[in-house]
Amino acid sequence: MKIIACLSQKGGGGKSTLARCLAVELTKQKNKVLLVDLDIQQKTSQEWAERRKRKEVKLYERLKVKGK
């Protein structure tokens, strides 16, 4: 198991963006990924929660149309 950490005390250094991009690319390559957001602002967690909500809505709408 490999561990990759994106750490820096400086704000605005692109850590969250880098971590999200790495997670997506590693997942595309069939790797198992656990992304942990320890940032006080929780931007990564918020963004992924919003994406998940949007996908669930789209899936629900598709099922709703097929179920007519």
- Decide if 15 contacts 6 (C-beta within 8 A): yes
Does 63 or 10 have the greater pLDDT score? 10
Please, what is the Cα angle at 46 between 45 and 52, to 5 degrees? 90
Q: What is this structure's pTM?
A: 0.63
Residue 20 vs residues 10, 15, 27, 36, 62: alpha-carbon distances, Å: 18, 9, 11, 10, 28
User: Is the pLDDT score of 42 beyond 80?
Assistant: yes
